[in-house]
Amino acid sequence: MAAISYRRARPLSASLKSSERCFSSTAPNPKQDDPWWSLSSLHKRVATIIATSLPDSSRSDLHQSLSKSLNSADSHKSHSIAEAIVSANARDVSVQQSSRHNAEKQKQIEKEIEQRALKTAQERMELELLAMKEQLKRKEEERIRLEKEQLKKREVERQREEAFTKWQEKVAREQQQEEETVNHAQTAEEEQTNYLHKDSDSSIQEQHHPILGPQIAHLPYKRIHLTAASKLASLPVYEKQRAYRHDRAKEMAKDKKKTLWMGIPGVISLMEEECGRLSILDGQHRVGMMALLSEEQRKIVEKNQKVNGDNGTQSTNNDKVDPLAQLDLENVLVEVFLPQQKNNITDTVLVDSKKQQQPPPEEQDDKAIIFTEINKAEPIKLLDLPGVTNKRTRDVIDYAANHFYNAFSEMFSPSQKCRAPHLNLDNLRDALFASEVIKREKVGSGGELVKWMAKKNDELKEVYTSDAGLDGGKKVSENALKKAKKHEFYLGLESTWLYK
C-alpha cells in the first residue's frame, strides 16, 4: 500500500470553513455544456478551494489526490449520494427560478447551494481520510496479533521440548511416568490452541469501524456491520455503477412511508479496497431514499421540540406518534466485500475457465466482478454491465442522453414504463446502445450524437406538424401530440428514428 502523508496537515474541516467565503463568492465558470449546479461544476469549485486555500506545507498527499480527482473531466462519476442530492436539488431550483426571472433570489439560492455542496464535499473527504487511517490501524493490529501468536507458539514449542527432556530422563526408570509426561504435553498443547482461538474470536467481536459502526460478523470474504444511514450517504458510489437518479429516490421514499412497519429490508453492499477506501456497489438509490427520510425525521423532531418547548409540557399517551419518527436509520445492515487474494484471481464469475491466459484488466477488477454478480438478476440495463461495451461508447451515449434530459426535463419520466410523448433516461441510453447508432452513423463524440438526435427531432417535428404526415398513418393521442408541440420534443412519440 502506498504511504500516505498526514504530517503537518491542518484539519480539513478548518481549511474548508476558512475558504467558504471564497467558494461562495467565486463566479461559476463551468464548461459551456455544464450548468452551474452540475456535479462537475460543484466539484471544480471544491477542487479550487483545496488547491488554493491550503499552503504547500499543510497539504497532504491525500488532499492533493482528492483535488486532482475532483478537477478531472470524469469527477462527476465518483460522488457521494449526499453530493448527488445537492446537485439534484440545485437543478430543480434552477429550473423553477429561471422561469421567474428573479436574479437576486437566484443568486441567494446559488450561494446556499454552494455552501451545502462545500459541506457534503467536506464530509466525503473527511470519511476518505478516516477510512484510510482505519485501514492502517487494522493492519498494525493484525501485525501485533500475528506477533503474539508467534510468541505463544514458541512458548508451546519450548514446553514441548522441556516435556520431552523430562520424558527422556525418566524413560529408563518408569514407563508409567513416561506416559503421564506425554499426556501432559498433549493437554498443554490443546489448551494453548484453544486459548489462541478464543483470543482471536474475542478480538473479532470487539471490532468497531469508525465509519461503518459495530461489526457483527467477519467471514473469510466479507464483514457485516450495522451502519447509520447518514454515514452511507457520504460514501462515494462505484464509478461504473448506473447513474444516480434523484427522482427515483424520491419515489422510493414516498413508497417507503407506506411500509414503515418492515424497516429497511435488504442489505447495502460496499467494497473496501486495499487502501481502506469504501465505495457503494449496490443500493445507491436506497441510500438516497434513506437520506431523504432522515431529513424528514429531523424536521419532525424539530417540530416536536418546538411544540413541547412552547407549551412547556411533554407528549401524552394520547398523542399520535408519527411512524416515520420511529424508523431506525441508525442500524442499516451493510456487507463489506474484501479484495480477493492475488493468487486466486482467475477464480471469478467473469473468467472463462477454458482460457489459461491472464484475464483482461476489467476482469481483474474486484468491484466489477462483485457488481456483476449482484446485478445479474436485477433489471439493470445492458449498457451498464461492466465488460459489455467500452468506456468511450458509454461516455458518448451518456453525454447525449444527459444533454436532452437537462434540456427537456419536462419530457422525461422516472418510470421505465412511461408512455408517449415521454422518455425514460435509462431506456433512452439502452435504446441508443442496442440500435448501434454510434457504429452505423460513425459517431465520434457526444456532441456529434447530440446533433444527430436533434436532426431526427426536427424530422419528426416536420412529420407530426404537417397534414401530410398525420394523414399518412401517424397515430398518436391528442394530448401526447399537444405536449410534444408545446416543448418541441418529438423523440418520445415513436422509436423508429433510432433505425433510420
Task: Annotate 45-87 with three-state secondary structure.
Answer: HHHHHHHHHCCHHHCCHHHHHHHHHHCCCCHHHCCEHHHHHHH
Residue 98 in contact with residue 37, Cβ under 8 Å?
no
Q: Write the CA distances from 275 to 25, 136, 157, 288, integer angstroms.
A: 36, 8, 36, 26
Pair type for strands 278-282 and 213-218: unpaired
> Distance between CA atoms of 48 and 71, rounded to whole angstroms?
8
Report whether 99 contacts 305 (CB < 8 A): no
What phi, psi does 213 have (nearest 5°)?
A: 85, -160
How far apart CA 477 and CA 31 sit, in angstroms, is 39
Using CA atoms of 185, 190, 194, 197 in order, give the dihedral in degrees to the nearest 10: 100
45, 28 contact by CB (below 8 A): yes
* DSSP secondary structure of 326-392: G---S-EEEEEE-PPPGGGTT-SSSS-TT--SPPPGGGG-HHHHHHHHHHTTS---GGGSTTSS-HH
Would you state the pLDDT for residue 38? 72
From first to last of its 500 residues, what are the pLDDT tens digits of the chain?
Answer: 334 444 344 455 555 454 444 444 444 444 445 676 677 777 777 667 666 665 555 456 655 666 666 666 555 556 678 878 877 877 777 766 665 556 777 778 777 877 887 788 778 777 877 888 888 898 999 999 999 999 999 999 999 888 888 887 877 777 766 677 777 778 877 777 766 655 555 554 458 888 888 998 988 889 999 999 999 999 988 887 778 889 989 999 999 999 899 888 889 999 998 888 899 988 899 999 999 999 999 998 888 888 776 544 445 444 577 888 889 999 999 999 988 876 544 444 444 444 445 555 555 577 788 777 776 654 667 777 777 888 899 999 999 999 999 999 999 998 888 899 999 998 999 999 999 999 999 999 999 999 999 999 999 999 888 875 555 556 788 899 999 999 999 999 998 999 87
* pLDDT value at residue 352: 45
The DSSP symbol for 493 reads: S
**pLDDT of 485:** 92
Cis peptide before 55 (omega within 30 of 0): no
The closest of 47, 53, 44 to 22, measured between CA atoms, is: 53
Give pLDDT, residue 7: 39
Rounded CA-CA distance 498/439 in Å is 12
C-alpha 317/C-alpha 475 separation (Å) is 60
Q: Are 359 and 351 in contact (CB under 8 A)?
A: yes
Which of 49, 224, 210, 184 is closest to 121 using CA atoms? 49
Strand order through the sheet with 208-209: 208-209, 213-218, 222-227, 332-337, 268-272, 278-282
Do residues 16 and 65 lie in contact, with contact meaning Cβ atoms separated by under 8 Å? no
CB within 8 A of 46, min separation 6: which ones? 23, 70, 117, 118, 121
SS3 per-residue string spanning 113-156 = HHHHHHHHHHHHHHHHHHHHHHHHHHHHHHHHHHHHHHHHHHHH
Alpha helices in 382-445 (DSSP H): 391-407, 425-434, 437-440
Contact 272, 334 (CB under 8 A): no
pLDDT of residue 54: 57
Assigned C-alpha cell, 35: 450548468
CB 127 within 8 A of CB 65: no
Q: Which amino acid is at 20?
A: E
Q: What is the pLDDT of residue 202?
A: 52
pTM of the model: 0.54
